[in-house]
C-alpha cells in the first residue's frame, strides 16, 4: 500500500469517528474587575462572609463564564454544550472531531482538550496555546443532645461521634453539599422529616437533566441512602452523624452511563456549592474507567492533578471547602487503588467493618505521587442506611463510609468554627488510629472525634453545665453558669458568621440584650476555662 494511501486511511479513522468529549477553554471573561469589586453580583452573602472570615481571595475564578461565548458555541455545527466551569473558564462539549476542531476558528476560544487524550497529540494544530457505592424534636436544644442511636450505634460510636453529640456538637451552622446520582423521596420520607421541619433541606439541582426537580426518580436512589448517613433521623432507631447541619443536593452522576461529562457536572456543582457558601462537600463518587475505554485513566494518573474532576476538587479546597470523598470500591479488583477525585487534596475515606478491620473492596492508597491515602476510615462494611421506602437496611461500600465521615466532620467543625478546612483535616488525621504508622489499606486509620476535644483544651465533662434562657427571646437572654466558675466570654454571630457582639460575663453580669437585633436566628458561643459550647438563639 502506498504511504499516501496509508496516511489518508489513518486520517479518516481519526476524523470519521462519532461523538467525542472535549473541554473548550476560553481566553477571557466579561466584567471581571467589576464583579470582584462587587462580589454580591456573583456570590451569596453566606459565601462572602465565609471568604472574609478565612481570608480567602475572591478572584477571577469566581466570575462566571461569558454566556455570550456559550451561546455562540451552541450555534456551531454539530456541537452540544453539556456543562460549564467558571473555575477553568471552559465548557464541556460533545461533537465530532472535525466540528470540535472548527471551534478554534472562534476568536474567543483559547484551546481544546479532548477526553480521549490520545487525540490531543494528534490535534496540536487546532490549538493556539496549551496548558500543561458498590454496592423532631426541636433542634434548638438548650440541653445536650440525648440521642438513642439504635441501628446506627456502631457507625456513630466507632468514630466517637456520640461524644460530639452529647456536647451538643451536631453540625449546627454547617452547610453540606451532597454530590451524587439520585435523591428520590427525600422530600417525602419520614426519615428526613426532622431535616425538613428544621428548614435544613435547601433543595438542590440536577446537573444531568438541568432541572430543579432534584427529588425525582431517575433510576438511582444512591444519593438518598448516602444522605441518610449524615442527616437521617428515626426516633429511637437511627441518627445520622451530622443531624443538625443544613444540606443542599446536587445530582452530578448519571447512573445509566459512565462518561467524562460526569466529571464536568461534578466541577460545576462544586462551583455552585462554593458560590452558596457551602462548608463541606460529600461525594460518594469516583472515576477511573469509562464505558468507552479510550477515556480511561491509568493508575499513574491518580496523582491528584491529572483528572479534570481532581483538579476541580483541588480548587474547591483552595476556596475553603472541605471535600470528603469515597476512595472507591476497587480494592479487590485489578484496579485496586483509589479513584478520582479521592486522589486530590481532599479527605478520602475508605471502609472498615464493625470490628475496625479493613474490608477487601475498599480502594487502597497511596496516591500515584506518594501521598498517604486513605485520609481516614469509617464503617462501610455493613453500614446502616435508609432507603427511599424508609426502611433501615445494611449496605456495603465506601459510598457510605464517606457520608458517615462527612457528617462527623461537620459536627466536629461546629466545635471549632475558627479553624479552616485544612486545619480541620489535619486535626482529624492526627486523631486517627494509624497516624503514626499509616499503610496502604487503612491510610491514617479510624479517627476518634472525641480525642481532639481534649487535645485542643475542651473539658467536655463540664459542657452540660452551661445553658441559656429564654430561647426564643424578645428582649434579652442570660447564660446559666456553673457556680464553681467565674468569668466567661460570650460571642454572638449571625448565621453568616459575622460577629455581632463579644463580651465578658459572670454570675452578676450575665444578661444580654437583643432588643435592637432583627428577628432572626443567631449563634451564641460561650467559653470559660477550657469549656466551650455553642447555642442557636431565636430572636422573636
Closest CA to 533 of 470, 480, 496: 480
Contact (CB, 8 A) for 337 and 287: no
Q: pLDDT tens for residues 62-77?
A: 999 999 999 999 999 9
Closest CA to 497 of 37, 33, 15, 44: 44
Identify the weakest region by mean pLDDT among 140-154, 314-328, 358-372, 392-406.
140-154
Q: Can you spell out the DSSP letters for 172-223?
A: TT-EEEEEES--TTTTT-GGGHHHHHTT-EEEEEETTTTBS-TTS--S--HH
pLDDT at residue 512 is higher than 50: yes
pLDDT score for 538:
85
**What sign has the CA pseudo-torsion 456, 459, 463, 468?**
negative
* Consecutive H or E run containing 165: helix 161-166
Q: Which of the two residues, 459 and 69, has the higher pLDDT score?
A: 69
pLDDT score for 473:
87
pLDDT score for 153:
95
Residue with cell 473492596: 361
**Whole-number Å distance between alpha carbons of 154 and 379:** 8
pTM of the predicted structure, to 2 decimals: 0.81
The residue extents of the domains of the chain are 17-126, 150-455, 460-539
- Grid coordinates representing 510? 450575665
Which band of pLDDT confidence, cut at 50, 70 and 90, is reported for residue 17? Answer: low
Identify the weakest region by mean pLDDT among 40-54, 136-150, 450-464.
136-150
- Grid coordinates representing 388? 427511599
Which long-range contacts does 141-147 make (Cβ < 8 Å, 24+ apart)? 141/168, 142/467, 142/468, 142/469, 142/471, 142/535, 143/464, 143/467, 144/168, 144/463, 144/464, 145/170, 145/243, 147/239, 147/243
**Whole-number Å distance between alpha carbons of 486 and 193:** 41
Contact (CB, 8 A) for 264 and 23: yes
Given this structure, which CATH class describes domain 17-126? alpha beta
Q: With the CA atoms of 455, 457, 463 and 465 taken in that order, what torsion angle do they form, in degrees rounded to the nearest 10?
A: 140
Which band of pLDDT confidence, cut at 50, 70 and 90, is reported for residue 125? Answer: very low
Q: pLDDT tens for residues 410-458?
A: 999 998 898 999 999 999 999 999 998 899 999 999 999 987 776 555 5
**If you ran DSSP here, which 8-state letter would residue 509 be given?**
B
- Grid coordinates representing 536? 442557636
Domain 150-455 has CATH 3.30.470.20: no
pLDDT score for 497:
74
| Cβ atoms within 10 Å of 385's Cβ, excluding its own | 30
For range 128-139, the mean pLDDT? 36
The residues that bridge with 239 in the sheet, in sequence order, are 233
Residue 430, CA distances (Å) to 346, 425, 445 in order? 15, 9, 10
Residue 323, CA distances (Å) to 50, 112, 123, 406, 420 in order? 16, 28, 35, 8, 12
pLDDT at residue 295 is higher than 80: yes
Q: What is the CA radius of gyration of the chain?
A: 25
Superfamily the domain 460-539 falls into: Macroglobulin (MG2) domain (2.60.40.1930)
Contact (CB, 8 A) for 479 and 443: no
| Cβ atoms within 10 Å of 121's Cβ, excluding its own | 8
Amino acid at each position: 500500500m502506498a504511504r499516501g494511501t496509508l496516511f489518508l486511511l489513518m486520517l479518516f479513522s481519526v476524523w470519521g469517528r462519532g461523538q467525542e468529549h472535549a473541554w473548550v477553554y476560553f481566553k477571557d471573561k466579561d466584567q471581571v474587575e467589576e464583579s470582584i469589586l462587587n462580589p454580591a453580583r456573583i456570590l451569596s452573602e453566606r459565601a462572602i462572609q465565609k471568604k472574609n472570615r478565612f481570608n480567602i481571595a475572591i478572584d477571577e475564578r469566581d466570575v462566571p463564564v461569558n454566556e455570550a461565548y456559550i451561546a455562540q458555541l451552541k450555534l456551531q455545527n454539530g456541537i452540544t454544550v453539556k456543562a460549564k466551569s467558571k473555575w477553568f473558564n471552559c465548557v464541556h462539549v460533545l461533537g465530532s472531531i472535525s466540528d470540535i476542531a472548527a471551534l478554534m476558528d472562534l476568536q474567543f476560544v483559547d484551546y481544546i482538550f479532548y477526553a480521549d487524550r490520545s487525540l490531543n497529540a494528534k490535534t496540536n494544530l487546532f490549538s493556539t496555546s496549551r496548558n500543561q457505592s458498590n454496592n423532631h424534636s426541636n433542634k434548638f436544644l438548650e440541653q445536650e443532645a440525648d440521642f438513642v442511636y439504635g441501628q446506627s450505634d456502631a457507625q456513630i460510636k466507632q468514630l466517637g461521634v456520640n461524644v460530639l453529640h452529647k456536647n451538643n456538637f451536631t453540625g449546627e451552622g454547617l452547610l453540606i453539599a451532597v454530590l451524587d446520582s439520585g435523591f428520590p423521596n427525600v422530600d417525602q420520607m419520614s426519615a428526613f422529616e426532622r431535616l425538613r421541619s428544621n428548614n435544613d433541606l435547601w433543595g438542590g439541582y440536577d446537573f444531568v437533566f438541568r432541572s430543579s426537580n432534584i427529588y425525582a426518580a431517575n433510576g438511582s436512589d444512591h444519593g438518598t441512602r448516602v444522605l441518610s448517613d449524615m442527616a437521617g433521623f428515626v426516633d429511637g432507631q437511627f441518627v445520622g452523624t451530622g443531624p443538625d447541619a443544613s444540606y443542599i443536593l446536587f445530582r452530578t452522576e448519571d447512573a445509566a452511563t459512565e462518561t467524562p461529562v460526569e466529571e464536568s457536572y461534578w466541577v460545576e456543582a462544586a462551583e455552585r456549592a462554593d458560590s452558596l457558601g457551602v462548608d463541606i462537600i460529600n461525594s460518594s463518587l469516583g472515576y477511573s474507567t469509562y464505558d468507552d475505554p479510550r477515556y480511561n485513566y491509568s493508575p499513574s494518573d491518580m496523582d491528584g492533578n491529572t483528572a479534570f474532576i481532581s483538579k476541580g476538587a483541588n480548587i474547591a479546597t483552595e476556596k475553603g471547602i472541605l471535600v470528603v470523598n469515597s476512595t472507591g470500591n476497587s480494592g479487590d479488583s485489578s484496579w485496586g487503588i483509589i479513584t478520582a477525585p479521592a486522589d486530590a487534596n481532599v479527605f478520602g475515606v475508605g471502609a472498615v467493618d464493625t470490628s475496625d478491620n479493613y474490608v477487601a473492596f475498599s480502594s487502597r492508597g497511596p496516591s500515584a505521587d506518594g501521598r498517604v491515602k486513605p485520609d481516614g476510615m469509617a464503617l462501610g462494611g455493613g453500614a446502616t442506611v435508609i432507603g427511599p421506602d424508609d426502611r433501615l437496611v445494611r449496605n456495603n461500600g465506601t459510598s457510605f463510609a464517606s457520608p458517615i465521615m462527612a457528617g462527623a466532620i461537620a459536627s466536629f467543625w461546629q466545635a471549632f468554627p475558627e479553624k479552616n478546612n485544612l486545619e480541620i483535616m489535619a486535626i482529624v488525621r492526627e486523631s486517627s488510629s494509624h497516624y503514626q504508622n499509616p499503610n496502604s489499606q487503612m491510610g491514617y486509620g479510624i479517627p476518634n472525634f472525641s480525642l481532639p476535644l481534649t487535645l485542643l483544651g475542651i473539658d467536655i465533662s463540664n459542657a452540660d453545665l452551661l445553658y441559656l434562657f429564654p430561647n426564643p427571646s424578645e428582649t434579652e437572654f442570660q447564660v446559666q453558669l456553673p457556680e464553681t466558675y467565674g468569668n466567661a466570654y460570650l460571642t454572638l454571630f449571625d448565621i453568616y458568621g459575622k460577629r455581632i457582639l463579644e463580651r465578658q460575663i459572670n454570675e452578676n453580669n450575665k444578661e444580654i440584650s437583643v432588643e435592637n437585633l432583627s428577628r432572626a436566628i443567631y449563634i451564641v458561643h460561650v467559653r470559660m476555662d477550657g469549656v466551650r459550647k455553642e447555642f442557636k438563639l431565636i430572636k422573636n
